[in-house]
Structure 1
């Protein structure tokens, strides 16, 4: 007879066993969970977790609720309603994950699995929509115009290398700032590859590669030479002479992009989106786009390119064909 694994039943059994343990043993397990979490989660994930816990605690305090687990499902459902219309559905889901993780860390059942909470989330999505705001695209033509206008100061050389690399590689900002000089691999045709050691979709560091054109390779190599960077130095670091060689922060990269493009709405992610737009305009296959952006599923690149895809859809082609036919008929009639 085949036994079917029931995750909920298994979790309930674990909680039952833990509840029967002495307070000393229970505390020891909780401390071990915390230690292992520090090793398992990325620093940014842990930072977000702490920020969300603090925000939820403040929200509860303002309303006279207790934020210490176990939290009642009714409170979490009300919290979702309060976030509706102010935060995106994805952000709300992230906050619910943090509340669940807080309960898991104490080996308590999560209120976020309660039907009241599920209905509250579904209600918010239905009322306000689940649309996720997309970073505005920065296409290659605009990028090349900006890098061509940059001069030869240390800061401009660094920024040219950074902007060109972001545009060519389609890297997330976390990947960009993690590159070290040793990750750059030259190719015979003058282009290069950058070894992406870890990414959002590769948390266990299997590694991948990103492409750099000849122009971008030269820009990066010029910056490395001027800054006198060593093999283990980060490529994208401060531009000042004798500055401590540590990676730029994602926030600093964002400020550089806004300043160089003279736009407050863009970031390095805009070039990732812009790259997808350019690729769809050139009729690149979805599989090649996934390889370039190191996506594991087609959902995200398809979402990035939906504006371009709408213009290339069957509906657009039919409309264009009949417009051309009507124009030809009108021309024949006038003739």
Structure 2
């Protein structure tokens, strides 16, 4: 009979074995788990994990709770109650993931799966809502207007390349700053493909391709020549002539976009959302949008485009048809 791996059963079996182990053996196993976690997770994930555990430990200390695993489920539920209304429910779920990982690292049962915690989270969502914040869209038309206004200075030439890459490729900030000169593949029509080595949905680096238009390609190579970038250099660097050639920080992209567009509300994700809006207005189907943005499921592009889809819905078409038949007065 084939063996079926059950993660929770294996963890429970490990807990039983550790009960008879020496303190030294337990410490060695937990140390190995931490070392393997550092290799398995992205550095940003580990930074976020440590920050969450630090905040959770601080809350436990202030409320006379022991933060050392195993933490009782009622304490986790109380923590969820405390966070309700202060941060988004999705952020609370992220914190519960970290607390779960903390218990996994100690080979202890996961209290976040307890029904008390589930009910606490459901109550927070019902009371405060579960809506996910979304960056405002920055569509192609507005980006082209911004590019027209930019001059010929070194910084502006870099910013033009950035705007073309962001609006053409629909890439995330972390993907944009990771592009190197060698990742551009020119096509016969003058456009290019950008090779995305790794992404949020591709942590193991299978790779994918993003689009860069012909004028976008020209702008990028103009910047590469001006900056004297070599094959292995990052495309988007600091604009100072003698500055160190190093990738921009992903957070810098949002600041550059805010300044270039004179819109304090936009972020590096706005061109990704704006691309979805433009595509839906042009009648592109969801599958082609998924290919363009390298999404593996339709959930996120559908969420990004829900305002556009509502304005294109059957209700909108019915209203438009009947109003046009009555001259817009609503009277037959």
Q: TM-score range by the shorter chain?
A: over 0.9
What's 1:169 paired with?
A: 169
CA distance in 2, matches of 1:11, 1:62: 31
Question: Are the structure 2 counterparts of residues 187 and 12 from structure 1 closer, same or farther at C-alpha, using a change threshold of 3 Å?
Answer: same
Residue correspondence of structure 1 range 180-259 to structure 2 within 5 A:
180-259=180-259
Residue correspondence of structure 1 range 114-129 to structure 2 within 5 A:
114-129=114-129
Question: Are the structure 2 counterparts of residues 188 and 98 from structure 1 closer, same or farther at C-alpha, using a change threshold of 3 Å?
Answer: same
Normalising by structure 2, report the TM-score. Answer: 0.96
In the TM superposition, residue 65 of structure 1 has moved relative to its aligned partner by 2.1
In the TM superposition, residue 7 of structure 1 has moved relative to its aligned partner by 3.9
How many equivalent residue pairs?
Answer: 332
DSSP 3-state at the match of 1:177: helix
What's 1:84 paired with?
A: 84
| 1:296 equivalent in alignment to 2:296 | yes
DSSP 3-state at the match of 1:87: coil
CA offsets, 1:118-167, max 9 Å, x none?
11011111111110011100011111111111111111111111111101
CA offsets, 1:69-121, max 9 Å, x none?
22221121111112112211111110100111111111111211111111101
CA distance in 1, matches of 2:204, 2:185: 22
8 Å contact kept, 2:323–2:330: no
CA distance in 1, matches of 2:129, 2:285: 30
DSSP 3-state at the match of 1:244: coil
Residue correspondence of structure 1 range 13-52 to structure 2 within 5 A:
13-52=13-52
Residue correspondence of structure 1 range 23-172 to structure 2 within 5 A:
23-172=23-172
DSSP 3-state at the match of 2:290: helix
Question: Are the structure 2 counterparts of residues 281 and 4 from structure 1 closer, same or farther at C-alpha, using a change threshold of 3 Å?
Answer: same
In the TM superposition, residue 11 of structure 1 has moved relative to its aligned partner by 2.3
CA offsets, 1:167-203, max 9 Å, x none?
1100000100111110011111111110000001101
In the TM superposition, residue 6 of structure 1 has moved relative to its aligned partner by 4.4
DSSP 3-state at the match of 2:239: coil
CA distance in 1, matches of 2:212, 2:4: 49
In the TM superposition, residue 5 of structure 1 has moved relative to its aligned partner by 5.4
CA distance in 2, matches of 1:231, 1:168: 22
What's 1:10 paired with?
A: 10
Q: CA RMSD in A?
A: 1.7
CA distance in 1, matches of 2:233, 2:18: 47
DSSP 3-state at the match of 1:327: coil
DSSP 3-state at the match of 1:240: coil
Question: Are the structure 2 counterparts of residues 242 and 328 from structure 1 closer, same or farther at C-alpha, using a change threshold of 3 Å?
Answer: closer
Question: Are the structure 2 counterparts of residues 329 and 93 from structure 1 closer, same or farther at C-alpha, using a change threshold of 3 Å?
Answer: closer
Question: Are the structure 2 counterparts of residues 329 and 128 from structure 1 closer, same or farther at C-alpha, using a change threshold of 3 Å?
Answer: closer
Question: Are the structure 2 counterparts of residues 220 and 328 from structure 1 closer, same or farther at C-alpha, using a change threshold of 3 Å?
Answer: closer
What's 1:272 paired with?
A: 272
Question: Are the structure 2 counterparts of residues 132 and 329 from structure 1 closer, same or farther at C-alpha, using a change threshold of 3 Å?
Answer: closer
- Structure 1, unaligned stretches of length 5 or more? none
Normalising by structure 1, report the TM-score. Answer: 0.95
CA distance in 1, matches of 2:211, 2:221: 14
DSSP 3-state at the match of 1:53: helix
